[in-house]
Structure 1
Amino acid sequence: MHVVDHLKGNPNEEKRNVLVESARLARGNIQDLAELKVSEFDAIIFPGGFGVAKNLCSWAVEGKNCTVNGLVKSTLEAFHSAKKPIGLCCISPVLAAKVFPGCEVTVGHNKNIDGRFPDAETASAIEELGCKHICKDVSEAHVDSTNRIVTTCAFMCKAPLHEIFDGVGVMVAEVLKLV
């Protein structure tokens, strides 16, 4: 959608390619999502961040009325149909809320407790989509056993980096238990 200068906190006019940026962050070895073969993987994990809210879906501008990128949606549906676990952190649980009505996810808390959850209204938007939001702290993950979806709030909580890291680690460990 647009590139944010995180030093200043403002969008800028720079344009970036999602695949090029993915390769930069991963140090190279990536492939287009269109080439993914579910049969070659045991699970899938989506990180969160602005990339999810602006490029993988339109949550950043349309909230609960967003659309999910077609390839992202079909990938999630394929893993779900194959009964393979799906891990989602930060804002990416909204992808599950849009694609799997009735699922259970967490993006932290539904109230801005001590200023730690400034995006707490996301929880109510998830519930308005017909899903169940489970309140969890940053160091925890929620497992929706029925749908094989594991979520954690990560940067949806203003917390020290080590606490966010721990929560993501719990999510990954819970995904691996489902493999």
Structure 2
Amino acid sequence: MKKIAVILAGCGVYDGAEINEAVLTLLHIAKAGASYQCFAPDIEQLHTINHLTGEEMQPNRNVLVEAARIARGEIKALSQLDVNDFDGLIVPGGFGAAKNLCDFAVKGTQAQLHVDMLRVGKAFADANKAAGYMCIAPAMIPLIYGNGVKATIGNDADTADALKSLGAHHVECAVDEIVIDEQHKLVSTPAYMLAQSILEADAGIEKLVKAVIKMC
């Protein structure tokens, strides 16, 4: 059975992992006959957003504690992730991917990755193990894989330009499609960067999960 590490960035589209993307990812991993283990950094979120009003709220929350809501408590600190224990890696999106796993949401082309996210991402890249990034998470791809890597966030011009500035070869992609960089065993899909419904998000996510597992 293939084992997939899934990195979550909290719980909720505006400050953490996009819940639908995360759950659909876990569902399709299981449907494909593989297993998963969820991870998240044990850190404070950049901020906590009231998802009803869109306003910041206090007190702030912990990324690992919040992500445990999605994982039903079955989650480990990202610092514990050992690449040798897994065949592949998948990173769902949500603004938390750009706020908690890195600071792309704040710093754009000057972004840096959380130390454990960088370690883990590079470990999978260096081991030539399959990885999938969805929604805004592909913003991290050039910081992990370097210049010329193929990736997509869909078709948002400003975000695509930022990825290009970071060194990626950005490929425009429909919501229900994926972009594969065969050399790096890397898959990306727009998901809720473009999706207008859970059905639209599901189409690309299912393809990404299947592609990652096939490359394992």
Gap runs ≥5 in structure 1: 111-119
Gap runs ≥5 in structure 2: 1-45
Question: What is the total number of aligned residue pairs between the two structures?
Answer: 170
Task: Tell which deviates more after alignment, 89-98 or 7-16.
Answer: 7-16
**Map of 2:150 onto structure 1:** 104
* Secondary structure in structure 2 of the residue aligned to 1:86: strand
Q: TM-score, normalised by structure 1?
A: 0.91
Q: TM-score, normalised by structure 2?
A: 0.76
* Secondary structure in structure 2 of the residue aligned to 1:56: coil
CA offset digits 1:38-67 (Å, max 9, x no partner): 111110000111111111100111111111
CA offset digits 1:81-100 (Å, max 9, x no partner): 11111110010001112222
* Secondary structure in structure 1 of the residue aligned to 2:128: coil
Rounded Cα–Cα distance in structure 2 between residues aligned with 1:11 and 1:59 = 19
**In the alignment, structure 1 residue 61 sits paired with structure 2 residue 98:** no
Given candidates 85, 97, 103, the residue that maps to 2:130 is 85
Given candidates 37, 53, 61, the residue that maps to 1:16 is 61
| Shift of residue 147, structure 1, vs aligned partner | 1.0
* Secondary structure in structure 1 of the residue aligned to 2:59: coil
Q: Which has the higher contact order (CA 8 A, sep 6+)?
A: 2
* Secondary structure in structure 1 of the residue aligned to 2:100: helix
| Shift of residue 13, structure 1, vs aligned partner | 2.2
Q: Once the two structures are aligned, what percentage of the paired residues are identical?
A: 38
| Shift of residue 144, structure 1, vs aligned partner | 0.4
